[in-house]
Structure 1
Amino acid sequence: MIIANTIAEVKEHVRVWKKEGKSIGLVPTMGYLHEGHASLMECARKENDIVIVSDFVNPIQFGPKEDLATYPRDFDADCKLCEGIGVDLIFHPEPSEMYAPDFHSYVGVDTLSEGLCGKSRPIHFNGVCTVVSKLFHIAEADRAYFGQKDAQQLAIVRRMVRDLNFNIEIIGCPIIREADGLAKSSRNTYLSPDERAKAVVLNRALTKGREMVLAGEKDAAKVVKTVRDMIEAEPLARIDYVEIVDWNELQPVETIDGPILMAVAVFIGNVRLIDNFIVE
């Protein structure tokens, strides 16, 4: 397995692989890899000749009061996981390699980025779109793999690729959960044992909401209230948002009559967790 720290190194390997006619799958990550990331890599491994994983905590998607400095990192463990799956190359750059001191170019997607997590994290998705655009150019991948847990991110990246004619296929992969239903996340490590036990309220509430939708409930407000009430019953939970939006445009809906995303962001203690379900 190759560990590359510079863009030039990645491009040199990609040039050789492309010349040999090999397909490339890219898995963009911020490191501290877990089973959710592993599922993306395994999917990429099945569908491509070459798998590239980026392991980069992207500073421009963090706001001034967010957890950039304390975001969990364990590159040695990341390498072991990637090697076990058969990843061909890990791209692990320093921020200075990705962003020159006079860097001024950003990519964004309007409308889709304004609601849900975009309300409380206004710069976040511009940072995501910018780094993902750079990674697409650097890796020249045929396919890129993203988890459904970050559903708004998945929808935004898909729209960016469509609107800007990127020559890459975006593959969305299912949420990977703990045995008790909590969605896998690097931020789960911030939870105390008591907070971790109470965090399962997100999945329990969403499961109820999904059951209502699948049973034919069309009133979005009624589903939202049920999910919100279940979460608010947990004293350690503080809701950022509970919303049902159209899955294509990520705009709020009153009546459920097409593909929808129900998404929640909830603070358990001081830890902000997200989860969702999609009904196509």
Structure 2
Amino acid sequence: MQTVSFIGDVREVVENARAAGRRIGFVPTMGALHAGHAALIRQAHEEGCFVIVSVFVNPAQFNDAGDLAAYPRTLTADEAVCREAGADLVFAPEVSEIYPAGFATQVTVDSPLTKAWEGHFRPGHFAGVTTVVAKLLLIAQCDRAFFGEKDWQQLAVVRQMVRDLAMGVAIVGSPTVRESDGLAMSSRNVRLSPEARKTAKIIPYLLDTAQDLLDSATPETQTDKGGVIAAWLRTLLESNAPDARLDYLAVVDPDTLVEVDEITNYAQVIIAVHIGGVRLIDNRKIVKRF
């Protein structure tokens, strides 16, 4: 495995891999890698790709300077994760390599998809995401790019961008990797105090409860309606984690992220909540069983 910091070096490696008949798989990350990232790298490797992993803490997608400053930088440990999971190349650029002096371009998805939920609570976030992902996809010149489903809205936005720009890259969503108690793997989890970490277990509990409510729906309970399920879950959160601060909890269409009323087939439950001063997001698909 090789680590490079310059765009020209990536392109040279990609050219050689292409000449050897390899497909290029790309895993964009912001570092602080964990088992969820490793699963993406392994998936790309097992699909036979030449695997490129980017490690870049993108300042353009942070709307909170404190959050950016607190984000862990652990390149040596990240390289070890990449090597063990089967990566072939790590691209770890400086900010000036991605955003050189005079950089003036922004790639945006101008649709309701980017304005609700994360887009509402983190203004400018998705413009930062789509700009850097577009640039990284062009740098990697990949056939397939792998994203975790934990960031469900981000995955939907990236798919929209790639489709609209006819970028010719297959965007692969991979299931969320979870801790033993169900909490979604996240680089932010290390910032949770022991007490907050215990409280955070409420998140997967709420998501599982959403499926239970849908399974037990009757004409009286109406728990096959998205708004009713969301109201139940908010009440559970308030009673079990009164100090948590909720940004949003909703039942939405998986593709458009518009809130759904009656669930006739399936829907996505999405949540963003602050626990112990750490903002956590998660989601899960719920399915109406006929």
Q: TM-score range by the shorter chain?
A: over 0.9
How many residues align structurally? Answer: 280
Confirm or deny: 8 A CA contact 1:25 1:144 kept in the other structure. yes
Determine which of 236, 240, 244 is the counterpart of 2:243.
Answer: 236
Q: Are 1:167 and 2:163 an aligned pair? A: no
Runs of 4+ with deviation above 4 angstroms:
none
Map of 1:22 onto structure 2: 22
2:179 aligned residue? 178
1:60 is the counterpart of 2:91: no
For 1:202-241, list aligned pairs within 5 A: 202-215=203-216, 217-233=223-239, 234-241=241-248
Q: Secondary structure at the match of 2:120?
A: helix
More moved, 213-222 vs 152-161: 213-222
Decide whether aligned partners of structure 1 residues 258 and 169 sit closer, same or farther in structure 2, where only a CA change above 3 A counts: same
1:10-159 superposed matches below 5 A: 10-109=10-109, 110-159=111-160
Structure 1 contact 205–231 (Cα < 8 Å) conserved:
yes
Tell me by how many angstroms 1:258 deviates: 4.4
Deviations 1:45-68 (A, max 9, x none): 111330000000001001144511
**TM-score scaled by structure 2?**
0.93
TM-score (norm 1): 0.96
Aligned CA RMSD, in angstroms, stands at: 1.3
- Superposition pairs of residues 246-265 of structure 1, within 5 angstroms: 246-265=253-272
1:19 deviation in Å? 2.0
**Residue ranges of structure 1 left out of the alignment (5+ in a row):** none
Alpha-carbon distance in 2 for matches of 1:160, 1:245: 20
Distance 2:149 2:212 in 1: 19
Among residues 242, 252, 276, which one is paired with 2:283 in the alignment?
276
Q: Distance in 2 between matches of 1:188 and 1:33?
A: 12
CA deviations over 1:81-131 (Å, ceiling 9, x no partner) = 111122100000000000012111111112111111111101111111111
Indicate the percent of aligned positions where both proteins have the same amino acid. Answer: 45
Deviates more, 1:232-241 or 1:38-47: 232-241
Give the conservation status (yes or no) of the 8 Å contact 1:23–1:142: yes
Runs of 5+ unmatched residues, structure 2: 218-222
How far residue 198 of structure 1 moved from its aligned partner, in angstroms, is 0.7
